[in-house]
């Protein structure tokens, strides 16, 4: 159905079309180019041996806080930190590659005049720049990080196809990837750790533009989910926490090659993902905004609450997007 630009509604609130227009205009007037806004060849951006800024900070990274990591030599800590950050960037670009392909499939079928076409195309342009930025970061670090695990890399050819017949589920998947990455990067930027300039610049750009992308996915689902059939909405309510947990694990947990390469004990992996109380709390914290959306869009019911709990990502909903964790009950 073609969407037309309309005036504000009777309550004085922006319509869905108004919000899309605002997001599109923001993409025009406030966007970044990774090869213009990051001075990759500046001396301060150089990746040099023995740089302690690659050591994982205990306040920002769970591995950095683990006794096993802290017991390693400084040289080993730097090597592990560089590999881990390179892999996080690689996972980010792989996820955004999937997102771009799915979103382009989605807008292929939109009618003329639909404002979603313009916004989604802006987002794809920004995501393409993000993939360039992440790959440049991986190349500069020099670690041959694979990113996602082998199963997810194989499924990457099929996941974007869901955007055609199941767009609501596809955008739930979009949030499943965007929300944890956004949460983690904001924690890094808010923290007091001495980040390498490459990491700081890449994260700052990504967080700034990702705010628009997450906002769109929230607005899209708030609008589309209530219009679904009762059965479809119920099925999506059950699929949402499962999708969140499965994709979060694929994105946040390093692949087996990481643990094997650095001969990291299995117990360390269990402690971090997600056996210890602190790790389980961090996992739940990733999805406070999504739980808020589930309540607002009608995806939270008695059955879906049980699934959220079974997936170990239940908890209180945020009161507003990006609410600091310290203020969530």
- pLDDT tens per residue, range 71-119: 999 999 999 999 999 999 999 999 999 999 999 999 999 999 999 999 9
pLDDT at 5 > cutoff 60: no
Range of the domain at 127: 73-327
Q: What is the mean pLDDT of residues 155-183?
A: 95
Q: Label residue 188 by pLDDT band (50, 70, 90).
A: confident
Cα–Cα dist 42/89, whole Å: 20
Whether the predicted pLDDT of 8 surpasses 80? no
In this structure, what CATH number is given to the domain that contains residue 137?
1.10.620.20
Residue 227 included in any domain? yes
* Distance linking the first and last C-alpha atoms of the chain: 41
Q: Is the pLDDT at 192 greater than 80, yes or no?
A: no
Alpha-carbon distance 318 to 288, whole Å?
A: 5
**Does any domain span residue 60?**
no
Count of other CB atoms within 10 angstroms of residue 288: 23
123, 96 Cβ separation under 8 angstroms: no
Give the mean model confidence (pLDDT) for residues 158-174: 96
Asked whether the predicted pLDDT for residue 2 surpasses 70, the reply is no
Which tokens in the block code for residue 274? 């997600």
Q: Is residue 322 part of a domain?
A: yes
Q: Is residue 212 part of a domain?
A: yes
The answer to whether position 147 is within a domain reads: yes
Residue 161 has pLDDT above 70, yes or no: yes
Interior/surface letters 190-224, b for 16+ CB within 10 angstroms, e for the rest? eeebebbebbebbbbbbbebbbbbbebbbbbbeeb
Q: Is residue 299 part of a domain?
A: yes
**Range of weakest confidence among 57-61, 96-100, 140-144:** 57-61
Share of the chain above pLDDT 70, in %: 93
Residue 127 lies in a domain: yes
Q: What is the 3-state secondary structure (H, E, C) of the chain?
A: CCCCCCCCCCCCCCCHHHHHHHHHHHHHHCCCCCCCCCCCCCHHHCCCCCCHHHCCCCCCCHHHHCHHHHCCCHHHHHHHHHHHHHHHHHHHHHHHHHHHHHHHHHHHCCCCCCHHHHHHHHHHHHHHHHHHHHHHHHHHHCCCCCCCCHHHHHHCCCHHHHHCCCHHHHHHHHHHHHHHHHHHHHHHHHCCCCCCHHHHHHHHHHHHHHHHHHHHHHHHHHHHHHHCCHHHHHHHHHHHHHHHHHHHHHHHCCCHHHHHHCCCCHHHHHHHHHHCHHHHHHHHHCCHHHHHHHHHHCCCCHHHHHHHHHCCCCCCCCCCCCCCHHHCC
What sign has the CA pseudo-torsion 175, 181, 182, 183? positive
Domain count, the chain: 1
Asked, for residue 48, whether it belongs to a domain, the answer is: no
The pLDDT of residue 52 is 94
Confidence of residue 193 (pLDDT cuts 50, 70, 90): low
């Amino acid at each position: 159905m073609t969407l037309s630009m309309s005036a504000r509604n009777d309550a004085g609130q922006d319509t869905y079309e108004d919000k899309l227009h605002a997001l599109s205009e923001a993409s025009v007037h406030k966007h970044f180019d990774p090869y213009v806004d990051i001075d990759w060849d500046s001396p301060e951006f150089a990746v040099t041996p023995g740089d302690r800024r690659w050591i994982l900070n205990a306040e920002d990274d769970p591995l950095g806080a683990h006794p096993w990591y802290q017991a390693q030599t400084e040289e080993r800590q730097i090597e592990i930190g560089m590999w881990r950050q390179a892999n996080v960037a690689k996972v980010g670009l792989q996820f955004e590659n999937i997102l771009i392909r799915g979103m382009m499939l989605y807008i292929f079928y939109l009618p003329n005049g639909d404002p979603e076409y313009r916004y989604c195309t802006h987002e794809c342009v920004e995501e393409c720049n993000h993939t360039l930025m992440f790959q440049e970061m991986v190349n500069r670090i020099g670690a041959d990080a694979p990113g996602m695990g082998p199963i997810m890399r194989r499924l990457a050819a099929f996941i974007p196809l869901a955007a055609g017949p199941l767009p609501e589920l596809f955008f739930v998947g979009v949030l499943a990837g965007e929300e944890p990455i956004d949460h983690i990067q904001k924690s890094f930027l808010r923290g007091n750790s001495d980040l390498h300039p490459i990491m700081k610049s890449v994260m700052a750009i990504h967080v700034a533009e990702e705010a628009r992308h997450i906002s769109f996915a929230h607005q899209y689902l708030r609008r589309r989910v209530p219009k679904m059939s009762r059965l479809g909405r119920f099925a999506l309510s059950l699929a949402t926490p499962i999708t969140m947990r499965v994709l979060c694990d694929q994105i946040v947990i390093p692949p087996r090659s990481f643990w094997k390469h650095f001969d990291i004990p299995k117990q360390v992996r269990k402690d971090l993902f997600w056996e210890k109380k602190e790790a389980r709390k961090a996992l739940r914290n990733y999805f406070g905004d999504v739980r808020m959306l589930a309540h607002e869009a009608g995806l939270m019911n008695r059955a879906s609450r049980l699934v959220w709990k079974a997936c170990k990502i239940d908890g209180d909903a945020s009161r507003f997007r990006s609410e600091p964790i310290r203020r969530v009950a």
